[in-house]
Structures are given as C-alpha cells and as structure tokens.
C-alpha cells in the first residue's frame, strides 16, 4: 500500500515536470504560449502553499489562545465549527463542479496495474486530501490540537491541565474529520464519474447541472423583496448571531458539530467519547459507501461511443449566401460540431433563461429608478445582457478556433481552402453560434419584459452585431497565437481556451460592448438607432481588413496549429 | 518518365531533431508507391511535409507538376490524403463529413450527392452514415477518411497506414479500390508496416531510415541490388541493417 501510494505520488510529480518539458522542440511563440499557460496554475500553487502555512499558524494560535484565555475557548471552537461546516459544503459541491467540468475521469486509469481495487480506492480517497479545499483543513486542525497542547505546557494553572486531554481529542477529531471529508468528496466524485462514463448521459448531466446552477444562483435575489445595502448588512449580522446560537437538532450529526461537541466536551471535563465515536462511525460509513460507488464505477463500461445515435441531419450541403462554398462549409462544420457539444449548447441555451431570470428578478425587486430595475423594466437591456452573456459563453469557440476541432483541423488544412477563407468561415460559424444564443435571449426578453421602444430593440441588435465584428479579428488573432487543444464536451479547464486569451477576451468583450451601451444609454431611441447603424458600419469597415491581415498570420502558424490540434 | 511526386533534398527539423534529412523522392505517375521504414524513421513527417501540414525546413518538392509552397491550394485540389490522425470532425456524421469535403473541393450538389452515396455503399457505411464519427469504430473511421480522400477524384493519394486497424474484409475492399484507382491512371503513395500487403500491391518502393532515403525503385530493382529471391520483409530488414540482428534475449523471462 505504501509503495503503491509512493508510486502514484511520483507519477503525478513526473507528469507535472514533464508537462513543462514537452515544448522544447517547438517554436519560440509556442514555448511562450505554454509558459504563459502555467501562470495561473503557478499562482494557484503559491496560494495553496501560503494557505497551508496560514492554516498552520491560525490553528496553532487558536489552540494556544483557547488555553491561555479559556473564557474564549467556546468562541474559538464555534469559529472552527462554522469553518468546518463551510468546508463540508465545499466537500459536496466542489466534486460536483469538478465532475461536471470533466475532471472526474481518473478512476479507471490504473486498472490494468496489479493493484487491488481496495488499494486503488484507498489511494483515490487519500488523494482527495490534496484537493484545494481540503489541503489546509487537516494541517489546521492538527496545528489547533498541538497549539492547545503547547498552551497547557506554558500555563502554570493546574485546572487547565484538562486541555491536555482536549488536545488529544482534538487531534483524534482532526483525523476523523479528514476521513469523513475525504470519503464524502470521493463518494460524490465517484458518483459523478459514474454518471459521465456514458458520453450522452454525461452531457445531459452537465447541461442540466449548469443551467440549474445558473438559475439557483439568482434564487436568493428573486426571494428578496428589497435590494437595500443596509438591510443586507443587518441580515449579515443576524446570520452571525444565528450561527452562534444553539443549532437545531438535525445539525448534530454533521461532522463539524460532532467535532465541536467532542472537543467542547473534553475541554469542559465532560465525556467526548460519544461524539468522537459518531465522527469515526460516519467516516467508516462514508468510506464504505465511497468504496461501493468506486466499485460501481470501475465495473461499468466507459462509453465514449457505445450508444449509437442517428442524427436528424441529412448532411445536405448548405451554402451561406454571398460566401465562398469553402468558407460556408467551414462555418457549417463549426456550427454543427458546436451544437453537438456541451459548450456549444450552453452558448445557445444559457443566455436566454439567465436573461429571463434576471429580468424577472429585477422586475420583482422594489428598486425603481436604480440600475437594477432597468433589466426588469426595459426588455432590450435584458436582450443586450443576453448578447453579452453569449459573447462570453462562446469564448471556448471564438478564442480557440483552431484548437477545438482536434483532427478536424487537419481536414481543413489538407483541403484546398485559402487562409482568408478559413478565417472568414470560422468567424461566420462563431457568428451563427452566438446569434442562436442571442436569438433565444431575444425571445426570453420579449416574453418577460416586452416594454421599451422597438427602435431600441433594433439598436441593441445592431450594437451586438457591431461588438461581435469588432471582436472577430482579435479573437482570430488570439486563436492563432495562443492555441490549446481543448475538448468542447468539457465545461471546465479542459474545454477552455488559453488562460491569457481568456483574460484578454474578458477585457475585449467589455471594451467592444461599451460603445453600444453608451449609445443606448445616452441617446433618444431614434438617435440611438442611427448612431448604432453608423457604429455597425464603422465596426465592419475596421473588422474586414483586419481579418484579412490576421489571416496572413495563419499561414505562418499553420504547422504549429496542426500540431497543437493533434495534442502535441 | 513522368513523375507525380518529386522531392529534392527535402528536410524537416524540429529544433535539433532532424526528422527528414534531405530525401529525393521520385514517384512515377500511375504507380503504387510503398514508403517503408521502421518506427520513427520519418514516414509520417514526410507525408505531412508533402501535404502541407508541416513546412519543410529546406529542399523543394513538386506534386503533379505544381510547387506546394507557391500554389498550396492548387496542389490540394489534385490530391487526396488520409493522414495519421485521419482528419475527421468527431461531431460530424459520416455523410456530413463527405458533404464538407465536397463543398470545399467545389463539387456540384448532384455530383456530391451521387459520389457520396456510392462511396458510402462501397465502404459499407450506408447504415452508419447518419451517426456521428465519434461513434464509429476505428475501422469505420479509416473507411470514412478514405472515402473523404477519394470523393474529389484526386490524381494522387497520400495514405498513412491505411491498412492498420481494419478487418480482413475492409482491407480487401480497400486494396481492390486502390488497385482500380491506379489502373485508371491515379497514383498512390502509402506508408504501411504490413509488408505482405505492400509486396502484393505496390510496384515501387522507397525505404527511409533515420530520416534518410536508403533505397528507392521498383521491387525488381531493389531485389537486384539487395538480394534476389528475397521477400519484401527480408529485403526491408537487409536494407535497414536489421537482417543479422540477434533475437532479443531476456533471461529473466524464462521464469
């Protein structure tokens, strides 16, 4: 078991190191691109290390402080309970997110090795202790126990010697909490992993999960009758006092409460055995449950392609009017592949319902005359918000136009298509995808908030088109310079464009919609329509030559793009 | 002799690694050319350089009389390629893949429809034609990639390992199709590790080792130079210098 655990730790380390070395045979631009993509993981690693150090420091100080100021020990323990409650919520939600984003597929990778399933499961559970939301819990709690022990050593008062026992209980509780949380998050991760083992089932799960999550995130605002800052602050104070008070009975079996009860009892010379035993029993049950789900996962057949599915498409050639057939074919392929991926469906399906929810929420809130009420009372503003959401959601396509087709890009490169036609075709495909999302937003906005001058609705549409046109050359440029091989069936980092491209994209979308927003906000409806038409014409006259210019760069980067698309 | 493909000192380097080291290929029109070499010899890299997926570091080539560096689109209109990764959109169906290819090659709608139907029939993919390529087996993917390469009726076909991973029935169909293609004046340039098939269908052979072309000519020429009466496998092993290599011996495998 130890040797296997060591081997798995080593292989992860080597994979990390080798990921830094793989670009040595590539050109300078690609090497810079790959180095830049390590910035965000690097920052994440640095913050994780500092979090662990901070947790050790805070934990040790909290333990020591509890002994040196015994009257405050209950407050410290309450803070730890709240913290553990939050971590418990994370232990459930984060594996759901990660799994939905396509990160739960590690389970069967090592099945061919002569490692028993029991050991494989134990290693998977242990590895969840290194998950970001878990990495500082165990060190923090152990430091709390040690701090308490150290506090007793420097305190001369004999009556505080009961904290020796409390520190031992806190240490045991830390181990119990680690087992419970690791088993809990593993169970959820395995469950999601089992769900997404079938490609179609996985895609449905991800779509439902993301759309439900987006809706749920607006629920608190929808339930609220006001949008008053002072009321929110008051409610925050009320929440604090609620946490401090006695919790309802059903919260007692929560791991955080069992831990708190055990350490609290030991600190006040009562028996901690019952809650401590409860904590370990919970850990054992969850571990057994995760083992059962793990077995289910590894015994199920992974099916990227098992359930054959006939599409309704007859494959008829479709030509976009006024476009060269090759560009039209590229655009059609782009739209078809997008509409059959999770990312593409999200671009179309997400903005509409979110806009409808936003409009309903803000029309529900009594805040007339403030900016929040505009979305509820002016449907064209909600429509505009839908376009902006679609522009952001489509970044997986727009900012990585050559990295998401995988070997499909090879097909485009071996076909007799000129660079400029390829770039135009990709742009037209992106326009169609974003247009579909924007169209659904329009319908939703019209259904929920049909008010507002028709001229402003048209101006909003023109503004969205102008924003897209302005973004197009920049998106093509970023796609050519910073490509990454991505999987559009994943909603997480595996389906994302390059980190730098995303950062630039966030900024550029904001910049591109700014003129349209200003025109709508500052001018009368008829003036806004005229101004927007002029802005659209300007945007088109800027975008078209720039797109041709960018396509020249494609010629220089073809080889690199082909290699990246093949995952090399 | 009219050449379908001709390279002069073609070289491709990735940093310090030289994958293709100054090769001079001469592929006659209407020939069935087998391009052989051990793993990592540079076969796929050569095909990628010739089909425009990689830019040669130096050297030149002419394909069907055209220079792919100056007229890449013109060259691509005349060739068909089944590359190493098969070049397929996973989320297009088989028929949509052919439609895409037909459109970019500028085929008329009726011609595209008829050719697609015939190719799907020949490749035994009619039933699966409306399924996503992602749902295809490896052999089906190979067949739809070959159908896509044949659809525009090219004069030169580049095939990277066309027989790897397909069953005996499909292999026989593909061999028949390619032989017919060559009889009708087309040229096939293929790489394969299945030397029995190459021996049976190819009339010209080129052997590459560590990026260098070490032999080229008709099978009869190669036999005359490297050993009469030898099978292609024996000839190949002789040419790459592995003829007298002792079989590997791992004592600890004896149990």
When pLDDT is cut at 50, 70 and 90, the band that residue A20 belongs to is: low
CB-based contact, B100 to chain A, within 8 Å: yes
| Residue among A472, A404, A402 nearest A432 (CA) | A472
Confidence of residue B95 (pLDDT cuts 50, 70, 90): very high
Q: Which residues of B touch A416 (CB under 8 A)?
A: 72-74, 76-77, 104-105
Cβ pair A163, A141 in contact under 8 A:
no
Q: In terms of DSSP bridges, do strands B187-191 and B156-160 run parallel, antiparallel, or are they unpaired?
A: parallel
Answer yes or no: are the C-beta atoms of A512 and A470 closer than 8 Å.
yes
Identify all chain B residues contacting A330, using CB atoms and an 8 Å cutoff: 104
Pull the structure tokens for residue A136: 């500082």
* Residue whose pair of structure tokens reads 């290599």 in the numeric block: B245
B119 touches chain A (CB under 8 A): no
Asked if pLDDT for residue A391 goes beyond 90, the answer is yes
Last residue in a domain, options A282, A299, A316: A299
Least confident window among A145-159, A313-327, A397-411: A313-327
Yes or no, beta carbons of A558 and B91 under 8 Å apart = no
A412 close to B81: Cβ distance less than 8 angstroms:
no
- Is the pLDDT confidence value at A439 over 60? yes
Instruction: For residues B196 and A547, give the distance between their C-alpha atoms in angstroms, rounded to a whole number.
Output: 50
Task: Considering only the beta carbons, identify the residue of A304, A416, A559 that sits closest to B55.
Answer: A559
Handedness of CA A520, A526, A529, A531 (dihedral sign): negative
- A341 → chain B, closest CA residue: B91
Residue A329: which of B72, B104, B109 has the nearest Cβ? B104
Dist. CA B127–CA A161, nearest whole Å? 80
Measure A466 CA to nearest chain B CA, in Å: 29
pLDDT band, very low/low/confident/very high, at A249 (cuts 50, 70, 90): confident
Task: Answer whether residue A41 is part of any domain.
Answer: no
Pairs of CB atoms within 8 A across A/B:
133
Contact A333 B89 (CB under 8 A): yes
Same domain, A425 and A509: yes
pLDDT (tens digit, 9 = 90+) per residue, B21-39? 999 999 999 999 999 999 9
Rounded to whole angstroms, how far apart are CA atoms B15 and A31? 12
Same domain, A290 and A353: no
Predicted confidence band at B157 (pLDDT cuts at 50, 70, 90)? very high
Domains in chain B with CATH codes: 3-87+155-242 (3.40.50.300)
**pLDDT value of residue A528:** 94
Facing residue for A308 by CB, picked from B14, B90, B131: B131
Domain assignment present for residue A272? The answer is yes
Confidence label for A229 from pLDDT (cuts 50, 70 and 90) = very low
How many angstroms separate the Cα of A235 from the Cα of each of A1, A91, A229, A365? 50, 26, 10, 17
Q: Is A304 in Cβ contact with B54 (below 8 Å)? A: no
Write the pLDDT tens digit of every residue in A176-208.
999 999 999 889 888 887 777 666 777 777 777
Distance of CA A301 to the CA centre of its chain: 27
Q: Is residue A366 included in any domain, yes or no?
A: yes
Residues A361 and A419 in one domain: yes
User: pLDDT tens across A123-181, in order?
Assistant: 888 888 877 777 788 899 999 999 999 988 887 776 677 788 889 999 999 999 999 99
Question: What are phi and psi for residue B4, nearest 5 degrees?
Answer: -80, -35
Domain boundary among A249, A265, A299: A299
Cβ within 8 Å of residue A504, ≥6 positions away: A399, A474, A478
Task: Read off the pLDDT of residues A270-308 as tens digits, 9 standing for 90 and up.
Answer: 888 999 999 999 999 999 999 998 888 877 765 554 455
Selecting from A199, A326, A410 the residue whose C-beta is nearest the C-beta of B85 gives A410
Comparison of pLDDT for A1 and B249, the residue scoring more: B249
Three-point CA angle A301, A304, A307, nearest 5° = 80
Q: How far is it, in rounded angstroms, from Cα A378 to Cα A359?
A: 9
The DSSP letter of residue A494 is G
Residue A316 belongs to some domain of the structure: no
Q: If pLDDT is split at 50, 70 and 90, which confidence band does A241 have?
A: very low
B93 secondary structure, DSSP code: B
Q: Are residues A395 and A454 in the same domain?
A: yes
Nearest CA in chain A to B145: A411
A226 is a domain residue: no
Residue A320 belongs to some domain of the structure: no
Quote the pTM value. Answer: 0.75
Query: Which pLDDT band holds residue A384 (cuts at 50, 70, 90)?
Result: very high
Q: With respect to residue A29, please indicate whether it lies within any of the assigned structural domains.
A: no
DSSP letter, residue A310: B
Distance, in angstroms, between A312 CA and closest chain B CA? 8
Tokens of B242: 């592995």
Confidence of residue A237 (pLDDT cuts 50, 70, 90): very low
Q: Is the pLDDT of residue A231 over 50?
A: no
Give the pLDDT confidence score for residue A236 in this predicted structure.
41
User: What is the pLDDT averaged over residues A70-98?
Assistant: 84
Last residue of a domain, one of A299, A315, A334: A299
Report the pLDDT value the prediction gives residue A449, as an integer from 0 to 100: 82
The nearest CA of chain B is from the CA of A410 a distance in Å of: 5
| Residues in B touching A332 (Cβ below 8 Å) | 100, 103
Using the beta-carbon criterion (under 8 Å), do B103 and A310 form an inter-chain contact?
no
- Both A283 and A174 in a single domain? yes
Distance CA B228, CA B213 (A): 21
A411 to B100: CB separation less than 8 angstroms, yes or no: yes
What pLDDT, on the 0 to 100 scale, is given for residue A19?
Answer: 64
Confidence of residue A370 (pLDDT cuts 50, 70, 90): low
Whether A142 and A203 map to the same domain: the answer is: yes
pLDDT confidence tier of residue B52, bands split at 50, 70 and 90: confident
Among residues 151-170 of chain B, which lie with CB inside 8 Å of chain A? none
Query: Cβ contact (<8 Å) for B112 and A317?
Result: yes
pLDDT at position A227: 45
Pairing of strands B3-14, B58-63: antiparallel
Q: What is the DSSP code string of B118-182? A: HHHHHTT-TTTTTBBGGGS-HHHHHHHHHHHHHTT--SEEEEESTTTT--HHHHHHHHHHHHHHH
Asked if residue A512 belongs to a domain, the reply is: yes
Q: What is the least distance, in Å, from the CA of B245 to any CA of chain A? A: 32
Nearest CB to B93 within list A311, A329, A417: A311
Q: Which residue of B has its CA nearest to A413?
A: B53
* pLDDT on residue A238: 40
Give the per-residue pLDDT at A240: 37
pLDDT band, residue A239 (cuts 50/70/90): very low
Sequence-separated (6 or more) residues with CB below 8 Å from residue B64: B4, B5, B75, B78, B79, B155, B156
Record: contact A416-B77, CB cut-off 8 A? yes
Query: Looking at the complex, does the CB of residue B93 fall below 8 Å from at least one CB of chain A?
Result: yes
- Which residues in chain A have Cβ-Cβ distances shorter than 8 Å to B130? 310-311, 313-315
Kindly give, in sequence order, each residue whose CB lies less than 8 Å from that of residue B82, ignoring residues fewer than 6 positions away.
B142, B145, B146, B148, B149, B157, B158, B159, B160, B162
pLDDT at A471 over 70: yes
Are the Cβ atoms of B53 and A415 closer than 8 angstroms?
no
Q: Are A108 and A295 in contact (CB under 8 A)?
A: no
Q: 3-state DSSP call for residue B202? A: coil
Residue A350's pLDDT is what? 83
Measure the CA–CA gap between B14 and A448, rounded to whole angstroms. 58
For residues A153 and A239, the answer to whether their CB atoms sit within 8 Å is no
Which residues contact residue A209 at a Cβ distance below 8 angstroms, ignoring those fewer than 6 apart?
Answer: A96, A100
Three state DSSP letters for A48-81: HHHHHHHHHHHHHHHHHHHHHCHHHHHHHHHHHH
Alpha helices in B202-252 (DSSP H): 219-226, 232-239
Question: What is the residue range of A177's domain?
Answer: 47-219+241-299
Checking if the pLDDT of B111 tops 50, the result is yes
**Spatial separation of the C-alpha atoms in residues A374 and A363, rounded to whole Å:** 8
What is the tally of structural domains in chain A? 2
Chain A CB within 8 Å of residue B18 CB: no
Query: A549 and A416 in one domain?
Result: yes
Please, are residues B76 and B155 in contact by the beta-carbon 8 Å criterion?
A: no
DSSP state of A161: G
Nearest CA in chain B to A487: B90
For A106, the token pair is: 């590690």
Confidence at residue B223, expressed as pLDDT on a 0 to 100 scale = 84
For residues A469 and A543, the answer to whether their CB atoms sit within 8 Å is: yes
SS3 A180: helix
What residues in A contact B109, CB-CB < 8 Å? 317
Residues A351 and A399 in one domain: yes
> Does the beta-carbon distance from B101 to A316 stay under 8 Å?
no
Give yes or no for residue A243 having a pLDDT over 50: no
Q: Which residue would you say has higher pLDDT here, A528 or A295?
A: A528
This model of the complex carries an ipTM of 0.85
Q: Which residues contact B205 (CB under 8 A, 6 or more apart)?
A: B33, B34, B35, B36, B198, B215, B216, B217, B218, B219, B222, B232
Q: Chain A residue with minimal CA distance to B109?
A: A317
How far apart CA A45 and CA A546 sit, in angstroms, is: 39
Which helix (H) or strand (E) covers residue A392, if one does?
A: helix A379-393
pLDDT of residue A10 exceeding 50: yes
Q: What is residue A199's predicted lDDT score, i.e. its pLDDT?
A: 67
Buried b (16+ CB within 10 A) or exposed e, A62-94: bbbbbbbebeebeebbeebbebbbebbebbeeb
| pLDDT per residue as tens digits for the range B200-250 | 999 999 999 999 999 999 988 888 887 777 888 888 888 888 776 677 788
Nearest CA in chain B to A303: B135
Give the residue, A368 or A376, on which the prediction is more confident: A376
Whether residues A122 and A200 fall in one domain? yes
Residue to mutate among A326, A407, A552, with most B CBs inside 10 A, is A407
Confidence (pLDDT) at A306: 47
Q: How far apart are CA A39 and CA A224, in angstroms?
A: 40
- What pLDDT does residue A153 have? 84
Enumerate residues 6+ apart whose C-beta is below 8 A from A80: A62, A141, A144, A256, A259, A260, A263
Q: SS3 of B4, please?
A: strand
Residues of chain B in contact with residue A329, where contact means CB-CB under 8 angstroms, are 99-100, 103-104
Query: In terms of domains, do A97 and A144 share one?
Result: yes
Phi and psi angles of residue A91, each rounded to the nearest 5 degrees, phi first: -60, -25
CA distance B95 to A311: 11
Query: How many angstroms away from the CA of A354 is the closest CA of chain B?
Result: 27
Specify the pLDDT at position A311: 66
Confirm if A272 and A266 have CB atoms less than 8 A apart: yes
Of A26, A308, A317, the CB nearest to B102: A317
Choose between A478 and B16: higher pLDDT: A478
Residue A324 Cα, gap to closest chain B Cα (Å): 9
Q: Do A329 and B95 touch (CB under 8 A)?
A: no
Compute how many other C-beta atoms are within 10 angstroms of the C-beta atom of residue B174: 22
A536 and A425 in a common domain: yes
Q: Helix-strand-coil percent breakdown of chain A, rounded to 5? A: 80, 0, 20
CA dihedral A273→A274→A279→A281, nearest 10 degrees, is: 110
The answer on A410 and A287 residing in a single domain is: no
Tokens at A236, concatenated: 């925050």
Residues 192-231 of B with CB under 8 A from A: none
A311/B91 Cβ within 8 A: no
Pick A315's closest partner by Cβ from B74, B95, B148: B95
> Are B134 and A199 a contacting pair at CB < 8 A?
yes
């Amino acid at each position: 078991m130890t040797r296997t655990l060591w081997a798995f730790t080593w292989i992860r380390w080597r994979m990390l190191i080798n990921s830094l070395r793989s670009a040595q045979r590539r050109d300078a631009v690609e090497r810079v691109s790959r180095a830049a993509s390590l910035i965000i993981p690097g920052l994440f690693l640095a913050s994780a290390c500092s979090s662990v150090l901070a947790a050790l420091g805070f934990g040790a100080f909290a333990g020591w402080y509890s002994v040196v100021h015994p009257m405050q020990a209950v407050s410290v323990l309450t803070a730890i309970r709240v913290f553990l409650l939050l971590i418990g919520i994370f232990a459930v939600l984060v594996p759901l997110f990660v799994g939905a984003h396509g990160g739960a597929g590690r389970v069967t990778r090592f099945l061919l090795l002569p490692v028993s399933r029991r050991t494989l499961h134990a290693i998977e559970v242990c590895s969840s202790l290194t998950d970001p939301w878990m990495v500082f819990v165990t060190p923090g709690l152990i430091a709390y126990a040690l701090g308490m022990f150290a506090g007793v050593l420097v305190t001369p008062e004999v009556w505080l010697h009961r904290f020796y026992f409390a520190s031992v209980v806190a240490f045991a509780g830390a181990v119990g909490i680690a087992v419970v949380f690791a088993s809990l998050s593993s169970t959820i991760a395995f469950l999601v992993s089992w769900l997404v083992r079938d490609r179609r089932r996985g895609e449905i799960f991800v779509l439902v999960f993301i759309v439900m999550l987006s809706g749920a995130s607006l629920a608190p605002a929808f339930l609220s009758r006001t949008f008053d800052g002072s009321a929110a602050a008051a409610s925050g104070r009320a929440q604090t006092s609620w946490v401090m008070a006695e919790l309802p009975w059903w919260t007692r079996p929560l791991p955080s409460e069992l831990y708190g009860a055990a350490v609290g009892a030991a600190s006040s010379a009562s028996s901690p055995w019952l809650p401590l035993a409860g904590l370990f029993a919970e850990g054992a049950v969850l571990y057994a449950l995760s083992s059962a789900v793990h077995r289910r996962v590894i015994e199920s057949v992974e099916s990227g392609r098992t359930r054959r599915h006939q599409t309704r498409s007859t494959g008829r050639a479709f030509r976009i009017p006024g476009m060269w057939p090759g560009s039209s074919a590229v655009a059609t392929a782009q739209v078809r592949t997008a509409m059959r991926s999770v990312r593409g469906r999200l671009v179309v399906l997400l903005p509409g319902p979110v806009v409808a929810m936003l409009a309903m929420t803000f029309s529900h809130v009594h805040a007339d005359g403030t900016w929040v009420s505009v979305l509820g009372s002016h449907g064209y503003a909600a429509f505009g918000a839908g376009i902006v959401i679609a522009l952001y959601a489509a970044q997986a396509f727009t900012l990585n136009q050559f990295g998401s087709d995988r070997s499909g890009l090879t097909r485009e490169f071996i076909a007799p298509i000129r660079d400029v036609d390829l770039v135009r075709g990709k742009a037209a495909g992106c326009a169609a995808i974003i247009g579909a999302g924007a169209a659904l937003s329009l319908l939703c906005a019209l259904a929920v908030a049909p008010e507002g001058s028709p001229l402003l609705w048209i101006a909003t549409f023109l503004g969205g088109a102008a924003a897209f046109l302005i973004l197009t050359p920049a998106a093509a440029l970023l796609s050519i310079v910073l490509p990454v091989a991505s999987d559009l069936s994943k909603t997480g980092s595996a389906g994302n464009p390059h980190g730098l491209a995303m950062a630039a994209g966030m900024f550029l979308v904001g910049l591109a919609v700014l003129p349209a927003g200003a025109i709508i906000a500052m001018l009368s409806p008829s003036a806004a329509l005229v101004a927007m038409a002029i802005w659209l014409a300007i945007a088109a006259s800027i975008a078209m030559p720039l797109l041709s210019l960018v396509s020249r760069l494609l010629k220089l980067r073809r080889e690199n793009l082909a290699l990246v698309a093949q995952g090399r | 002799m009219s050449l379908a493909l001709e390279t002069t000192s073609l070289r491709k380097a990735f940093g310090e690694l030289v994958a293709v080291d100054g090769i001079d290929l001469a592929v006659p029109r209407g020939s069935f050319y087998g391009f052989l070499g051990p793993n990592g010899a540079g076969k796929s890299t050569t095909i990628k350089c010739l089909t425009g997926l990689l830019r040669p570091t130096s050297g030149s080539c002419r394909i069907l009389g055209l220079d792919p560096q100056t007229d890449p689109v013109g060259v691509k209109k005349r060739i068909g390629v089944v590359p190493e990764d098969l070049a397929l959109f996973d989320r297009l169906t088989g028929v949509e893949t052919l439609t895409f290819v037909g459109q970019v090659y500028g085929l008329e709608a009726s011609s595209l429809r008829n050719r697609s139907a015939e190719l799907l029939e020949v490749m035994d993919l009619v039933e699966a034609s409306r399924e996503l390529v992602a749902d295809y087996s490896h052999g089906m993917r190979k067949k739809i990639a070959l159908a896509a390469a044949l659809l525009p009726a090219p004069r030169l076909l580049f095939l990277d390992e066309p027989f790897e991973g397909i069953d005996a029935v499909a292999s026989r169909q593909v061999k028949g199709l390619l032989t017919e293609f060559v009889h009708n004046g087309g040229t096939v340039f293929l790489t394969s590790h299945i030397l029995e098939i190459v021996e049976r269908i190819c009339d010209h052979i080129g052997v590459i080792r560590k990026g260098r072309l070490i032999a080229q000519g008709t099978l009869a020429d190669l036999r005359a130079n490297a050993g009469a009466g030898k099978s292609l496998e024996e000839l190949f092993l002789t040419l790459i210098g592995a003829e007298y290599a002792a079989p590997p011996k791992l004592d600890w495998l004896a149990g």
